[in-house]
Amino acid sequence: MNTKEVRVRFAPSPTGPLHIGGVRTALFNYLFAKKHNGTFILRIEDTDQNRYVKGAEDYIVNSLKWCNIKIDEGVGVGGKYAPYRQSERKDIYKKYAEQLINDGFAYYAFDTPDELEKMREKLKAEKSENQQYNFLSRTAMRNSLNLSQDEVEKLIESNTPHVIRLKVPENEKVEFTDLVHGKISFDSSLLDDKILFKSDGMPTYHLANVVDDYLMKISHVIRGSEWINSTPSHVLLYRFLGWENEMPEFAHMPLILKPNGKGKLSKRDGDALGFPVFPLEWTNPNTNEVSSGYRESGYFSDAFINILALLGWNPGTEQEIFSMKELTEIFSLDRIGKSGSRFDPEKAKWFNHQYLINKNNEELAFLYQEILKEKGIEVSDKLVIKVVDLIKERASFVSDFWKQSFFFFQKPTEYDPKVVKKKWKEDTSDTMKKILEVIENIEDFKSEIIEETVKNYIEKNELSFGKVLNPLRLCLVGSGKGPSLFHIAEIIGKEEVVERINNGIEKIKK
RNA sequence: AGUCCGUUCGUCUAGUCCGGUCAGGACGCCAGGUUUUCAUCCUGGUAACACGGGUUCGAAUCCCGUACGGACUACCA
């Protein structure tokens, strides 16, 4: 391991919302940085003007904020190596591209899209192993390797569209050590002459990311494994630019796969998979299509982070619940797995449940109050706290609270027919009438006292618990579910209990 | 098609580097227990080393091959 300062970057392109794979990449970078007292940088790779999506950058920043992934340096916060938006660094890249040309490692290419297509078709027809622009095919193309210097100058002066390509050598072994996968090697003959500079005056990702990583003194490049195949081109760039000794270390993380089996998870999956792929809800600015987010679906951000942290990484212990702080203390790259993982919505739910039951009642009540207000229910925080305490173990999300507790706030409007059929017998009305009397006589309407009184009555009259308590629950709740009947009774109060029993006697008929 | 990467219960995974406990945990599912009910909870159960060779006293672990999966092969990142 080297001892240089850890500086890592998360470098998304603003072509749309971040999906959970992107968030995980950001998270792993962040955790690695924090673990080593390093710096986490956000760099926006907006070199493709055509794919730019309005609002995407804000979305990325907001997502990281929600996740509690704090940006030390970069877009939105600034820093020593500003600007951090590649479109604003445009001029920097040109210099290096020209340096590569002067040193014989790159060249101008004037081929039109048409000509490129013809070349590929021709090679295909010849059953050539690949149709790349490479050491073989470039000899027949319109580029500065084949044209005279005069011609090249003339073409450039007359503003002929052109690109700058990397001159990839033939038959060289290009190797790098990946911190996740170990040594990976490629034969340079299989690499294509990557475009470094596009005809629109923008660099491509390949040039820009190498230049920026070097200038920003990035120590480790942690990214998805879809980048493995272009890494040798990057290694070549570091070498040709004379930066091989300062080259960052690479760690390629396994991809997050679609749960149905096929392929990597993609932004375009939206809600098609039956679970959100985005951290925050996203409205496509072009189509106005809305895709759901984890935040809006009721996930706590700390639970969400916990879920993501364990996708493709594990600490080697049996602990599964981790705070962000714990993660920053124990995270390490060498415990990142090699194979892709599928996201399991069921387990995600379980994680949220764990976080939910560990939250304090005040916080949950505060969140639940918003829902109650929307339903036009105005009740005291004190009451909601009591309710939450009784029902939180039965929920995975705050949004589950209503169906677990509506009966605290309103009378049942219907009675579950199945339960009615099973529990409401011929003589139940009479039993309820008697229970009603018993309840009406309770002075101190506390759950323990209600329970004691009712149970005493049952025993004294040789009734069974089920025969009394089940119909009673039906009256109070409308179904056969819910927390302790006596707790419910205490919270809704004697008057309400009496009213609901009367309603039940009247409305529930055999 | 080529290149690169990968493959342990249905899913997330431990164990692999440094061969040697009935291959461990979690989610899910199933059963039992607790409960006035439902849920939670507790206990138990279900279920995996892709395949074939080799090396070895012994292989999930090392080597080779096959199969399968994935990524990449753009003037996208």
C-alpha A302/C-alpha A282 separation (Å) is 20
Pick the closest to residue A29 from A215, A321, A248 (CA basis): A248
pLDDT at A290: 94
Specify whether A267 is catalytic. yes
For residues A465-488, give the mean pLDDT. Answer: 92
Q: How many CA atoms lie less than 13 Å away from A459 in the CB half-sphere?
A: 6
Separation in Å, CA A482 to CA A300, A403, A468? 24, 10, 16
> C-alpha angle A48/A53/A56, rounded to 5°?
110
| Residue A203 φ/ψ, nearest 5 degrees | -75, 165
Q: Which two tokens stand for residue A170?
A: 């033939």
Nearest residue to B26, CA vs C1'? A320
pLDDT in tens, A302-337: 999 999 999 999 999 999 999 999 999 999 999 999
Per-residue pLDDT tens digits for A443-470: 899 999 999 999 999 988 888 888 899 9
DSSP secondary structure letters along A312-377? SB--SSS-----HHHHHHH--GGGB-SS-EE--HHHHHHHHHHHHHHS-HHHHHHHHHHHHHHTT-
Residue A57 structure tokens: 């950058």
- Helices A401-409 and A485-492: crossing angle in degrees, nearest 10, is 50
Alpha-carbon distance of A504 to A510, in angstroms, equals 12
Beta strands in A158-248 (DSSP E): 163-166, 173-178, 182-187, 195-197, 220-224
* pLDDT given for residue A120 in this prediction: 92
Distance CA(A321)–CA(A315), nearest Å, equals: 11
**Percentage, residues of chain A above pLDDT 70:** 99
Find the Å distance, CA of residue A355 to C1' of nucleotide B32. 28
pLDDT digits (tens, 9 = 90+) for A41-94: 999 999 999 999 999 999 999 999 999 999 999 999 999 999 999 999 999 999
Do A322 and A85 meet the contact criterion of CB atoms below 8 Å apart? no
Q: Is the pLDDT of residue A132 over 90?
A: yes
A509 pLDDT exceeds 80? no
CA closest to B14 C1', residue: A316
CB-strand contact A186/B, under 7 Å = yes
Give the Cβ contact number of residue A387 at 10 Å: 27
User: What b/e sequence results for A195-208 when a residue is b if at least 16 CB atoms lie within 10 Å of its CB, and e otherwise?
Assistant: bbbbeeebbbbbbb
How many Å apart are CA A505 and CA A468, to the nearest integer? 13
Protein residue nearest nucleotide B12, by CA to C1':
A311
Pairing of strands A249-253, A220-224: parallel
CA dist A353 and A367 (Å) reads 15
A336 CB-side CA count, 13 A: 30
The answer to whether A315 and A259 are in contact (CB under 8 A) is: no
Q: 């609002």: which residue's tokens?
A: A55
Sequence-distant (6+) residues with CB within 8 A of A126 are none
Q: Is the CB of A333 under 7 A from strand B?
A: no
3-class secondary-structure state, position A178: strand
DSSP state, residue A186: E
A358-377: average pLDDT: 95
Mean pLDDT of A247-255: 96
The mean pLDDT of chain A is: 93
Two tokens, residue A286: 């072009």
Contact flag, residue A481 CB and nucleic strand B, below 7 A: yes
- Ranking A134-148, A299-313, A379-393, A426-440 by mean pLDDT, the lowest is A426-440
Beta-bridge partner residues of A40: A8
pLDDT given for residue A97 in this prediction: 96
Q: Cβ neighbours of residue A376 under 8 Å, at least 6 residues apart? A: none
Task: Give dist(CA A64, CA A42) in Å, integer.
Answer: 10
Rounded to whole angstroms, the Cα distance separating A43 from A213 reads 10
Confidence check: pLDDT of A510 > 80 = no
* Ramachandran angles phi, psi of A18, nearest 5°: -75, 140
pLDDT at A248 over 50: yes
Query: Above 80 in pLDDT, residue A3?
Result: no
Give, as ranges, the nucleotides of chain B with any atom within 7 Å of a protein CB. 1-8, 10-15, 24-28, 36-41, 69-77
Q: Are A59 and A17 in contact (CB under 8 A)?
A: yes
**Backbone dihedral region of A314: left (phi > 0), alpha (psi from -120 to 50 degrees) or beta?**
beta
Check if the beta carbon of residue A475 is closer than 8 Å to that of residue A503: yes
> A121 pLDDT exceeds 70?
yes
Q: Which among A86, A93, A89, A92 has a CA at the least distance from the CA of A13?
A: A86
Nearest nucleotide (CA of A337 to C1'): B13
Contact A55, A61 (CB under 8 A): no
Q: In the prediction, which pLDDT does A260 show? A: 73
- A480: the nucleotide nearest its CA (via C1') is B37
User: CB of A463 under 7 A from strand B?
Assistant: no
User: How many whole angstroms from its chain centre is CA A105?
Assistant: 40
A394 touches strand B (CB under 7 A): yes
pLDDT of residue A400: 94
Residue A264 DSSP code = B
pLDDT of residue A261 exceeding 70, the answer is no
Average pLDDT over residues A226-232: 96
pLDDT of the residue at A1:
46
* Tokens 């297509």 belong to residue: A117
Asked whether residue A274's C-beta has any atom of DNA/RNA strand B within 7 A, the reply is no
pLDDT for the residue numbered A100: 97
Q: Tell me the sheet residues that pair with A283.
A: A290
